């Protein structure tokens, strides 16, 4: 089997690294590609694969994974993939609008390809440990074909059926919960700072009462004011997801008010103004602190 993985950001790097190990053990071929190729140098030591300079080099791939930043990139890269792999199974792990998934499926079907919407939950460190939660929808036979590839980096697979919009909708619903959690953490940590409660003390409670990676990781980031996006998720992506979350109800025919997400989006926009879009999306807490008349950033170097 010839597998291609397109998109070597924080998440794509870890997933493709695990796929490289799997491919070598099972006599598969893995080709990886990234739009910006300046990172190829140091990634060659991490990913045992063929590094493509042009998408023409993935020609004939049986399974093509996409992990790109936004909806436009998903549609654009898919179009180029279908030119060289017109009958491939395309596994789109990007977080996109359900409308994009529907359009992508139609584009793939027109050339004889099969498109799966397959976003993941988890941070890059979870991918590296094989502990992602994989969500998928689309053609049943295609799902069965790629299931062993999902198991390489995921501890569980959630099958939402054959309608591709469902997996991307579930992804947005899950990200809405994470974004709402960060908004609430930002508010209560600001309250603690204003009333003399040490963040490390409150973090002990958070980790005991909510023993999940999201609460633990984002609680520490917000409590410490540490917003490096290395190994995480940048504000640019967070704002893209927030916009898709806010529009998904209307896009699918039934608008739903989401006031918590509106508030979190406002705070992310303010964080971009203060520190730029390359901060981790948990930096929305800087805007919450500013509204509470606290110093926005605990660590000046993180701006």
HEC readout, 26-68: CCCEEEEECCCCCCHHHHCCCCCCEECCCHHHHCCCCEEEECC
Which pLDDT tens digit goes with each residue over 163-190?
A: 999 999 999 999 999 999 999 999 999 9
7 and 66 Cβ atoms separated by less than 8 Å:
yes
Mean pLDDT of 23-52: 95
Question: CATH for 169-302?
Answer: 1.10.1040.10
Interhelix angle 165-195/98-111, rounded to 10 degrees, is: 150
Q: pLDDT value at position 301? A: 45
Confidence grade of residue 230 (pLDDT, cut at 50, 70, 90): confident
Mean pLDDT of 95-121: 98
Q: pLDDT value at position 229? A: 85
Mean pLDDT of 188-217: 96
Query: Residue 208 and residue 210: Cα distance in Å, rounded?
Result: 6
Domain limits of the chain?
2-162, 169-302
Q: Residue 267 is encoded by which pair of tokens?
A: 């705070």
Q: pTM score, two decimals? A: 0.93
pLDDT at 236 over 50: yes
Mean pLDDT of 139-163: 98
Mean pLDDT of 235-259: 97
Residues ≥6 apart with Cβ < 8 Å to 206: 185, 215, 216, 219
CATH topology of domain 2-162: Rossmann fold (3.40.50)
Out of 33-42, 114-123, 145-154, 256-265, least confident range? 33-42
User: Which regions of 93-217 does DSSP assign to beta strands (E)?
Assistant: 114-117, 120-121, 132-138, 154-159
Confidence grade of residue 299 (pLDDT, cut at 50, 70, 90): low
Residues taking part in catalysis: 171
């Amino acid at each position: 089997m010839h597998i291609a993985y397109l998109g070597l950001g924080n998440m794509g790097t870890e997933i493709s690294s695990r796929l490289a190990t799997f491919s070598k053990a099972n006599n598969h071929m893995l080709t990886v590609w990234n739009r910006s190729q300046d990172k190829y140098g140091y990634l060659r030591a991490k990913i045992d694969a063929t590094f493509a300079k042009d998408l023409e080099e993935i020609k004939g791939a049986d399974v093509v994974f996409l992990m790109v930043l936004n909806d436009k990139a998903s549609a654009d890269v898919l179009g180029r993939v279908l030119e060289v792999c017109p009958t491939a199974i395309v596994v789109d792990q990007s977080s996109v609008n359900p409308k994009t998934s529907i359009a992508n499926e139609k584009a793939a079907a027109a050339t004889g390809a099969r498109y799966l919407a397959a976003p993941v939950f988890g941070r890059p460190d979870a991918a590296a440990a094989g502990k992602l939660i994989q969500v998928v929808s689309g053609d049943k036979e295609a799902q069965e074909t790629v299931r062993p590839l999902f198991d390489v980096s995921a501890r569980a697979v959630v099958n939402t059926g054959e309608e591709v919009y469902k997996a991307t909708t579930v992804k947005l619903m899950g990200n809405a919960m994470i974004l709402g959690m960060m908004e609430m953490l930002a508010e209560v940590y600001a309250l603690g700072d204003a009333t003399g409660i040490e963040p490390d003390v409150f973090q002990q409670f958070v980790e005991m009462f909510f023993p999940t990676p999201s609460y633990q990781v984002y609680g520490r980031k917000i409590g410490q004011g540490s917003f490096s996006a290395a190994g995480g998720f940048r504000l640019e992506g967070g704002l893209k997801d927030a916009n898709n979350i806010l529009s998904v109800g209307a896009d699918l025919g039934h608008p739903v008010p989401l006031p918590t997400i509106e508030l979190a989006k406002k705070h992310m926009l303010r964080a971009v103004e203060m520190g730029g879009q390359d901060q981790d999306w948990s930096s929305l807490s800087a805007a919450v602190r500013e509204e509470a008349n606290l110093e926005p950033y605990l660590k000046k170097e993180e701006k």
